Amino acid sequence: MQPLLSAHDLHVSYGAVKAVRGVNFEIRQGEIVAFLGANGAGKSSIMNAITGLVPTSSGQVTFEGRDITGAAPETLAPSGLTLSPEGRRVFGTLSVADNLRMGAFALNDKAALETAYKRVYDLFPILQERKDQYAGTLSGGQQQMLAVGRALMSNPRVLLLDEPSLGLAPLIVDQIFDLILKLRDQGVTLLVVEQNVAKTLQVADRAYVLVNGAVVEQGKPAELTASGTMQDAYLGAN
Amino acid sequence: MDIFLQQTVNALALGGTYALLALGLAVVFSIMGLINFAHGELMTIAGYVLMYCGIAGVSFVVAVPLALMASVIAAVLMERIAFRPVRNGSGATMLVTSFAVAMILQVLFQNLISTRSQPVLLPAMLSDSVHIAGMVIGVNKLAAIVATIVMLVFLDWFMKHQKTGIAMRAAAEDFAVARLMGIRANTVIAGAFALSGLLAGVAAVLWVSQRASVDPLMGFMPVLKAFIAAILGGLGSLRGAVAGGFLLGFIEIYLSAFLPPEMQEFREPIGLGIVVLVLLFRPNGLIPSATLKAEKV
Ligand SMILES: Nc1ncnc2c1ncn2[C@@H]1O[C@H](COP(=O)(O)OP(=O)(O)O)[C@@H](O)[C@H]1O
Ligand SMILES: [Mg+2]
């Protein structure tokens, strides 16, 4: 089966800093795939390069058989690929509802828009309660829900989640992982970056382990925990 | 007391014009980080349209929308031709580009129209005055105040309730993430310029209504003042631009009305001194932009 999203020999640099060095991956329809690795391993750089937030130095990203390397970021969400970026980055000076409205920017059909709102409010009832509040006044956990909800508004087929549980209370972390499973059941293919390795390996179908911008191992969670590479990946870079 | 109220009306009229101009600068700056000094030339273009309409005998109620349309189109073209190629350049690059655009337009006005000030035919009604509560108020002043209020209400509605307006606020806060949401960079930037063109056009109509003339450098002074007003209010903040515009209008009018005659010479430096004093106490302006401040830290 043709992968839904894939990268071939992907490189990302920031000036002299080589953050991603020749990464390959393939994500198939319906999978939950995780990127694991220590801080600075290049996980966010990969996600940002896929979605055009940072430029790709070389290599190729393919989505549904189309080359999207260097595509304008604004073309991706309407085509079914979006990212909930690291650090939430909600629009703090916009209301919760307006943040969600922006998530579905390309959507003009009133009924489709209502459906999108309803889906997010069903997942996160607190957002409906707070819909007229400025996003900047929400708690960290609520902002994270908003960031994920905003990404869902475009009804993505592939959703990239960059550290969705960063800095959240344990109870809310569990909710985020429940959500990942729930979204998969709704037919969303997920690429997840998480610091919470144990929980991530419980939900992921496959994972890629990154060290210094390169994939050192990939496989099913059981295979990865059995080999010692994972521990090395986290310890090695620290 | 009467004279004080009278001058307050004048201050509202002038401050409102500054506020509209400062808003035009702020809308573009908040999204692109560009201070568009060619904003003044948008005013001048609108002014010349009023002048030619007067010559051609076109009635003022038709001339005004034509003038507004001209400055909106000019603003959009300016973005397309001059600023889009340097969009990813530094703030300094864009600033220099805006000076270049301003100078090119000034030279064009001087060569194609006239180096001298040209009279603009205005409806006689504008130079009438009305008596309100014992004050004699010029119709042009009253019209300026009303037009400012209408524009501010319109802008507030647009930025809060129109999808494009909300997208502009989102882009001002986090341009990269706004694009990630599917908001087209070209759309919000062109939208910001169109809005700034509309604001410059309205300001031009108000400006010309007080002076009945237009010259190639007409836009320079008011936009310099608007720039000061925008800084006074908090650069990049829309509410700040309005507050700064009105405050500057009040400072200028009250100084010219109440400063003793022998000190009138120093009116401008005293006015700027007050601005600097305000900025000493509020370095980020009266109503700082929430997002820009966060970026600087
Ligand atoms: N905007 C940037 N400018 C310069 N270097 C960066 C930037 N973003 C990330 N880096 C560097 O790139 C490397 C990978 O970072 P990142 O992709 O954020 O890793 P991760 O998400 O795995 O923590 C790190 O060395 C980091 O310091
Ligand atoms: Mg990261």
Non-local CB neighbours of A202 within 8 Å, separated by 6+ positions? A177, A221
- pTM, two decimals, is 0.91
Atom of ligand 1 nearest to the CA of A14: 4
Instruction: State whether A52 and B183 contact (CB < 8 Å).
Output: no
Residues of A in contact with B174 (CB under 8 A): 89, 91
Region class of A85: left (phi > 0), else alpha (psi between -120 and 50), else beta: beta
Instruction: State whether A73 and B180 contact (CB < 8 Å).
Output: yes
Atom 18 (ligand 1) nearest CA: A44
- pLDDT confidence band for B133 (50 / 70 / 90): confident
Q: Find, among B31, B16, B14, B18, the residue nearest to B195 by Cα.
A: B31
Instruction: State whether B176 and A53 contact (CB < 8 Å).
Output: yes
- pLDDT confidence band for B291 (50 / 70 / 90): low
Cβ(B102)–Cβ(B35) under 8 Å? no
pLDDT at B230: 96
User: Bridge partners of B131?
Assistant: B136
Cβ(A121)–Cβ(A179) under 8 Å? no
Q: What are the strands, taking DSSP E only, across A64-146?
A: 66-67, 81-84
On the CB side of A134, how many CA atoms lie within 13 Å of its CA?
A: 8
- In short, whether A17's Cβ falls inside 6 Å of ligand 1 is yes
- In short, whether A41's Cβ falls inside 6 Å of ligand 1 is yes
- Three-state DSSP class for residue B15: helix
On the CB side of B180, how many CA atoms lie within 13 Å of its CA?
A: 31
Nearest chain A residue to B184 by CA distance is A74
Instruction: State whether B182 and A92 contact (CB < 8 Å).
Output: no
% chain B with pLDDT above 90 = 88
Non-local CB neighbours of A68 within 8 Å, separated by 6+ positions? A50, A52, A61, A62, A75, A76, A81
Nearest chain B residue to A74 by CA distance is B182
- In short, whether A75's Cβ falls inside 6 Å of ligand 1 is no
Rg of chain B on CA atoms, in Å:
19
How far apart (Å, rounded) are the C-alpha atoms in residues B120 and B98?
27
Interval B207-211 mean pLDDT: 94
How far apart (Å, rounded) are the C-alpha atoms in residues B244 and B231?
7
Cβ(B248)–Cβ(B275) under 8 Å? yes
Interval B107-116 mean pLDDT: 95
Interval B220-241 mean pLDDT: 94
| Shortest CA gap B80–chain A (Å) | 18
pLDDT along chain A (238 residues), means of 10: 93 96 96 94 96 94 95 94 95 97 94 95 95 95 94 96 88 90 95 92 95 94 80 62
Domains, in order of start, for chain A = 5-92+160-235 (3.40.50.300)
pLDDT at A1: 72
pLDDT at A238: 43
A23, A35, A44, A195, best to mutate for ligand 1 pocket (most atoms within 8 Å of CB)? A44
Question: What does DSSP assign to residue A3?
Answer: -
Interval B157-167 mean pLDDT: 96
For domain B9-281, which architecture applies?
Answer: Orthogonal Bundle (1.10)
Write the DSSP string, B103-166: HHHHHHHHHHT-SS-EE----GGGG-EEEETTEEEEHHHHHHHHHHHHHHHHHHHHHHHSHHHH
How far apart (Å, rounded) are the C-alpha atoms in residues B144 and B147?
5
Average pLDDT, chain B: 93
Helices (H), B162-266: 163-173, 175-180, 185-211, 220-233, 238-258
> Residue ranges per domain, chain B?
9-281
B4-36: pLDDT as tens digits:
888 999 999 999 999 999 999 999 999 999 999
How far apart (Å, rounded) are the C-alpha atoms in residues A60 and A76?
15
Q: Which amino acid is at B210?
A: Q
Atom of ligand 1 nearest to the CA of A54: 1
A162 CA to centre of ligand 2 in angstroms: 7
